[in-house]
């Protein structure tokens, strides 16, 4: 693996690295005084004091925070124990081991009974159609969760079991995940945009004993027959000798047929004419959610879990191509998401928070479900997309619920920027106080537009850098404290000790560029890869013993600001979602016409990066638009629509080193028509390169 400098961000779509030097000297934006005045952390100096204490006395710092939660039994031994150094033995991280609690109890029962916020709205649900809405209070959510926990118990779900969830953004998704947490069962949520193949792979990897899904849903204009995909996945599991014994199905599109009074609270009216979605039914396996809920009891004692018991599994792309089941645990994750939510969005009781991420990603786990609920916050739960019914949907929804804190991805901002200012300024947005972004580096143009147009220059922007693996925010401004620089995630959150390393693993001081690593554990760090602790150690701890390695490159400027320069492994970031080159390549070579494939990231104005694929065909096959369509379909089916390539180029052969390694660095340059190829002394056959340059794809296919 080369230095970040050599490999760079594969797409470079936002040009972050190239311009970082110039921009770090550019203007910084101070937090608005009216925000600082009421903020939990009102100044940079206060941030520095708190940050110093969090690193010097982590046990005391987090111990104080832990006191705000309910513990069935207190921590009997050391508050924190860990080993971050592979050369000294097994990697482990234990926060509050031996203490017992339940996260569902803490985010619901505690809010209702201790905080007396039972009547507060937990979620405003905004459906795909703007007229489809409902709301659910903390008390109502608790009742639903107890009911569903009893349903799961009756189906034999016990502490430690794995439950797969494959659902759109509807209230039942939150109910399902919290019910798992109440029973100490691990939820494994699979984004409803993933294919049946991906779902099957994830069910098998963690041997889930039950699946919760939905009949169908609309995503904008598009109807997704989710049950059909779920059926395909379960069929594949059966074929592979793993029959899932129970599949619980929420009637969502067919909800209107059920009348009112169905869960949750009042059933949201589905206004859209419901087409004939054919739902096939597997007797003995499939069960309707609403029927099971009718029979379920109101009371459900939570299962008391060790702070270090696993809470959930969430799969993220791995550079080998096989998704990794990231495991988070009950106690540390709870402290970390609650604390980051409070400080990063400067949460106050009257806020209406809106994170547009799908719960199928970590952002949704941490900042739609657990973080806001742990603080007793009111949030918007959004089923739709930013461009339906029109491009002002986000801003009309902000006005509708008087959203105060808004959190989205750079890709959404870039997409909406294309339609100009008017769809934004048509709406008041006067309620907005803080704006956030996550998922990929935000290019300064998008940052400035977000700040000037969406936030009307009033709202600080929190550019939050973190990962599925970190559980919560790692580098981020605090809205009342941190002067912002567009494109920089600024400084570490409490408990986070970043370092920049060179290729030899030496810590670089001051202004520097290199590998971004973390030196000590924070409570939200993942504990293992499900069923493969060795993969956990290899991926995050082997390269630089003693550090957690993010896989990102980073630059620290003269003011100590951190600038993420992008992935330094074979990962791609498409619209804020990580994909590995290996998983796309293996989906391509499974096609009978493809002998070999190499995939690289390519700049894209909205997605940040898109996929550019080079394919070498088997003898007897010819390259055609029919074939490229087939290949795209193949990738959609194997991985999901987010992995659909924008470019597929015929490559009679691929540039390789003499030892046979595909030179992706060169392929990236070819895709961008950049003839400045750098050191080519290792290439086995230079004529291949000339040939590929002359056959570049010029337009998106
Ligand atoms: C990767 C993690 C964490 C939720 C969403 C993605 C990139 C994430 C930023 C940011 C620059 C960012 C990194 C990271 N990334 N946030 N604010 N600035 N890059 O979760 O799928 O685990 O991806 O996303 O490359 O490693 P994920």
Q: Choose which residue among 328, 570, 578, 580 to substitute to test ligand 1 binding: the one with the highest number of ligand atoms within 8 A of its C-beta.
A: 578
Of all protein residues, the one whose alpha carbon is nearest to atom 14 of ligand 1 is 467
For residue 94, give the nearest of 84, 104, 105 by alpha carbon.
Answer: 84
Share of the chain above pLDDT 70, in %: 94
Q: Rounded to an integer, what distance in angstroms lies between the CA atom of residue 173 and that of residue 189?
A: 9
573 C-alpha to center of ligand 1: Å?
A: 8
pLDDT digits (tens, 9 = 90+) for 530-557: 999 999 999 999 999 999 999 999 999 9
* pTM for the whole structure: 0.91
Is residue 467 lining ligand 1, measured as CB closer than 6 Å?
yes
CA distance 319 to 273: 43
Side-chain-facing half-sphere of 422: CA atoms under 13 Å: 2
Average pLDDT of the chain is 92
Q: Residue 601: CB within 6 Å of ligand 1?
A: no
Minimal-distance CA residue to ligand 1 atom 20 = 467
**Mean pLDDT to the nearest integer, 106-115:** 98
Query: What pLDDT is attached to residue 258?
Result: 75
Residue 138 Cβ < 6 Å to ligand 1? no
Indicate if the pLDDT at residue 150 is higher than 80: yes
Least confident of 68-72, 253-257, 453-457, 663-667: 253-257
Strand positions, DSSP E, 153-209: 162-165, 186-189
Residues 654-684 have pLDDT tens digits of 998 777 778 888 999 999 999 988 878 778 8
Position 68 pLDDT exceeds 80 = yes
Q: Is the CB of 569 under 6 A from ligand 1?
A: no
* Residue with the two structure tokens 């109101």: 298
Residue 686: burial class (beta carbons within 10 Å; 0-12, 13-18, 19+):
exposed
CA 633 to chain CA centroid, nearest Å: 24
Atom of ligand 1 nearest to the CA of 475: 17
Cβ 550 under 6 angstroms from ligand 1: yes
Bigger pLDDT: 566 vs 340: 340
* Cα 294 to Cα 402: distance, rounded to the nearest angstrom: 35
Residue 272 pLDDT level (bands cut at 50, 70, 90): low
- Give yes or no for residue 386 having a pLDDT over 60: yes
Confidence of residue 405 (pLDDT cuts 50, 70, 90): very high
Indicate whether residue 31 lines ligand 1 (CB < 6 A): no
The 10s digit of each residue's pLDDT in 182-236 is 999 999 999 999 999 999 999 999 999 999 999 999 999 999 999 999 999 999 9
Residue 465 Cβ inside 6 Å of ligand 1? The answer reads yes
CA of 440 to the centre of ligand 1 (A): 5
Distance from the CA of 393 to the center of ligand 1, in angstroms? Answer: 25
> Is the per-residue pLDDT at 10 higher than 80?
no
Helices (H), 155-192: 171-183
Please give the number of the atom of ligand 1 that sits closest to the Cα of 550: 26
Residue nearest to atom 6 of ligand 1 (CA): 439
Phi/psi at 692 (5° precision): -70, -40
Check pLDDT > 50 for residue 98: yes
Q: Are 453 and 425 in contact (CB under 8 A)?
A: yes
pLDDT reported for residue 569: 82
Q: Which atom of ligand 1 is the closest one to the Cα of 437?
A: 17
* Angle between helical axes of 44-56 and 58-66 (0-180°, round to 10): 100
Q: Is the CB of 441 under 6 A from ligand 1?
A: yes
């Amino acid at each position: 693996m080369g230095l970040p400098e050599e490999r760079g961000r594969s797409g470079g779509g936002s040009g972050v690295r190239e311009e970082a030097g110039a921009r770090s000297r550019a203007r910084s934006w101070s937090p608005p005084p009216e925000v600082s005045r009421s903020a939990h952390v009102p100044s940079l100096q206060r941030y520095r004091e708190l940050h110093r204490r969090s690193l010097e006395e982590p046990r005391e710092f987090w111990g104080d925070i832990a006191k705000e939660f309910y513990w069935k039994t207190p921590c009997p031994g050391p508050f924190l124990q860990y080993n971050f150094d592979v050369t000294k033995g097994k990697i482990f991280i234990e926060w509050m081991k031996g203490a017992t609690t339940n996260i569902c109890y803490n985010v619901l029962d505690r809010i209702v009974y201790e905080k007396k916020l039972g009547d507060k709205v937990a979620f405003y649900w905004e459906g795909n159609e703007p007229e489809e809405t409902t709301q659910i209070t903390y008390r109502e959510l608790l009742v639903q969760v107890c009911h569903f926990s009893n349903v799961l118990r009756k189906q034999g779900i016990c502490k430690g079991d794995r439950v797969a969830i494959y659902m759109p953004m509807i209230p039942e998704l939150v109910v399902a995940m919290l019910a798992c947490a109440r029973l100490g069962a691990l939820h494994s949520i699979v984004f409803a945009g993933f294919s049946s193949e991906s779902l099957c792979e994830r069910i098998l990897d963690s041997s889930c004993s039950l699946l919760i899904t939905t009949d169908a849903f609309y995503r904008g204009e598009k109807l997704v027959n989710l049950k059909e995909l779920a059926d395909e996945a379960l069929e594949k599991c059966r074929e592979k000798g793993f029959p899932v014994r129970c599949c619980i199905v929420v009637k969502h599109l067919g909800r209107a047929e059920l009348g009112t009074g169905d869960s949750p609270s009042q059933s949201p009216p589905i206004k859209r004419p419901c087409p004939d979605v054919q739902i096939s039914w597997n007797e003995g396996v499939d069960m309707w959610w609403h029927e099971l809920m009718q029979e379920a009891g109101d009371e459900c004692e939570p299962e008391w879990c060790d702070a270090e018991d696993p809470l959930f599994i969430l799969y993220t792309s791995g550079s080998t191509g096989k998704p990794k089941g990231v495991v988070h645990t009950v106690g540390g994750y709870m402290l970390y998401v609650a604390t980051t939510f409070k400080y990063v969005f400067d949460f106050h009781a009257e806020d209406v928070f809106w994170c547009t991420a799908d719960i199928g990603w970590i952002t949704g786990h941490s900042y739609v479900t657990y973080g806001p609920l742990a603080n007793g916050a009111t949030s918007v739960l959004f089923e739709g997309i930013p461009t339906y019914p029109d491009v002002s949907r986000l801003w009309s929804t902000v006005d509708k619920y008087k959203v105060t804190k808004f959190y989205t991805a750079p890709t959404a901002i870039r997409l909406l920027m294309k339609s100009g200012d008017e769809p934004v300024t048509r709406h008041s947005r006067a309620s907005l106080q803080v704006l956030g972004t996550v998922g990929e580096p935000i290019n300064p143009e998008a940052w400035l537009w977000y700040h000037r147009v969406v936030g009307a220059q009033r709202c600080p922007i929190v550019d939050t850098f973190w990962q599925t693996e970190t559980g919560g925010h790692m580098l981020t401004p605090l809205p009342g404290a941190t002067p912002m620089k567009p494109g920089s995630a600024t400084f570490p959150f409490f408990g986070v000790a970043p370092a920049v390393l060179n290729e030899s693993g030496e810590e670089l001081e001051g202004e520097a560029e290199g590998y971004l690593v973390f030196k000590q554990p924070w409570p939200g760090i993942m504990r293992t890869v499900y069923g493969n602790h060795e993969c956990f150690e290899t991926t995050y701890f082997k390269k630089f013993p003693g550090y957690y390695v993010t896989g990102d490159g980073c630059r620290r400027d003269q003011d100590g600001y951190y600038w993420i320069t992008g992935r330094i492994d074979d990962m791609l970031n498409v619209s804020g979602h990580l994909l590995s080159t290996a998983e796309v390549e293996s989906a391509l070579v499974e096609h009978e016409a493809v002998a070999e494939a190499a995939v690289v990231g390519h700049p894209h104005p909205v997605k940040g990066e898109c996929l550019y694929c080079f394919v070498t065909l088997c003898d007897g096959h010819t390259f055609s638009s029919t074939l490229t369509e087939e290949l795209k379909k193949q990738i959609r089916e194997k991985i999901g629509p987010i992995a659909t390539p924008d470019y597929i180029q015929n490559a009679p052969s691929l540039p390789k080193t003499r030892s046979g390694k595909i030179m992706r660095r060169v392929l990236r340059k070819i895709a961008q028509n950049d003839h400045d190829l750098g050191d080519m002394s290792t290439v086995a056959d230079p004529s291949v390169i000339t040939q590929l340059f002359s056959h570049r794809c010029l337009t998106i296919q």
